[in-house]
Structure 1
């Protein structure tokens, strides 16, 4: 099975469904059918929740996307960073770090190495992680299952979210046969709208905001990303950006010239 193509197709199809849910409630049967077609799986309401969709089923059988009216302060964001041996197409995840954030505070942390028999020299130079450090680490399926429980149906946040989200989505399919359908937010895109800076890479923003942390280690970078998220949210206080849905749409909006 070509997991590289499958995860891309699933993300595209699920994003299209979320675009509809962001505007209107949908009938449960229609939504179920749309996700089953998008994912190639038989689904029920509880499974949609388990896979990361934060929705409410009303008595009239309409499904409502909770982020449409959930205030930013009441939303749970899961800020994620990974280290890997290469690209999504030819590498594997070797470390996941994540923090759950709500109303500016870190509620919980997740951190784990993942077993790999070899680590390229350039990755060791960048991260400090070598194969000896991973020899007793749990394998991908175990760590990904634990991480998915930690993530729940929180909004998945990362710096360049398409990389971290895409990598975890691909490996979840490969090792767990479980798609990833959480909403997602990119702090690069959000920072471009909230912070004046020459460059928007994580290291540049850390320097701009005075964040001191270890570079290129998953939990440390996830915490730095969480700081950037909170900083951006604070700059928007008093604005028309009230809900988590507003925040995601704002991050994706066109830049003013």
Structure 2
């Protein structure tokens, strides 16, 4: 994914920006042909969580207690493993905030070619998708659901990169939401021999029966996420603290396992 907004994010992670600094950055990003206000609207739709207060611009995650943060727990099924030649065929997501599920999102996506091995894993067949909405319709709805929430998934890079690339290819731009991997977070907070979704589902006593279906797997991921949050130290307070802790290199124990 292009690192178009990396400079902006690095600055905001260190400190809030004055309106003048932020406006200068907008001009730098947009260049001569794009009005700063248009660039700001593009940033807002990209998923970067900005907060405007007291004539300054903040990265919302640096101020928001993680218990009050907006998280979007996501899982997808795809017709292959390469985001550049394959596509999502099902998206499931849960908006979780203040310890509550606010709403859920689920949709199949039209696709003409489902390999047999994908059907064997997911149970999704060609006929199940024939009357489903086209990918650009689903992605538009999903982006409106996701907004600027923290994107949470088990093996998050797979789901995030797949959806970000799909959004770009369908003219919605790349996703720039903060992302959190529940495999990494579980490794930091839970004692387990393995950290795959299926193993933790049983090991932690979650016992959801359906695996490899998007919404059901996002429900399992949410339960793992909630159990991890209960084990956090008290010095982790903001969402940024949580993201930094999750991405730090130390691991409690066990082996990283695939989704």
Classify 1:248/1:137 alpha carbon distance in 2 versus 1 (closer, same or farther; 3 Å): same
1:221 corresponds to: 217
Classify 1:222/1:28 alpha carbon distance in 2 versus 1 (closer, same or farther; 3 Å): same
What is the TM-score with the length of structure 1 in the denominator?
Answer: 0.88
CA contact (8 A) 1:28 1:57 kept: no
What is the 5 A alignment of 1:218-257?
218-236=214-232, 239-255=234-250
1:5 corresponds to: none
DSSP-derived class of the 1:56 partner? strand
What is the 5 A alignment of 1:1-257?
8=1, 10=2, 12-15=3-6, 17-26=8-17, 27-33=21-27, 35-36=29-30, 43-60=38-55, 62-87=56-81, 88-213=83-208, 214-236=210-232, 239-255=234-250
What is the TM-score with the length of structure 2 in the denominator?
Answer: 0.88
Give the CA deviation at 1:18: 2.3
Q: Deviations 1:37-70 (Å, cap 9, x if unpaired)?
A: 8xx997432332222121123453x321011010
| CA–CA separation in structure 2 for the residues paired with 1:230 and 1:82 | 20
| CA–CA separation in structure 2 for the residues paired with 1:66 and 1:150 | 18
DSSP-derived class of the 2:77 partner? strand
Give the CA deviation at 1:177: 3.5
Residue correspondences, number: 244
Give the CA deviation at 1:249: 0.3
Classify 1:188/1:90 alpha carbon distance in 2 versus 1 (closer, same or farther; 3 Å): same
1:4 corresponds to: none
CA contact (8 A) 1:96 1:218 kept: yes
CA contact (8 A) 2:48 2:148 kept: yes
CA contact (8 A) 1:145 1:176 kept: no
Classify 1:14/1:192 alpha carbon distance in 2 versus 1 (closer, same or farther; 3 Å): farther
DSSP-derived class of the 1:197 partner? coil
What is the RMSD of the two structures over their aligned residues, measured on CA atoms? 2.0
Give the CA deviation at 1:24: 1.5
Give the CA deviation at 1:121: 0.4
Classify 1:217/1:68 alpha carbon distance in 2 versus 1 (closer, same or farther; 3 Å): same
Give the CA deviation at 1:95: 0.2
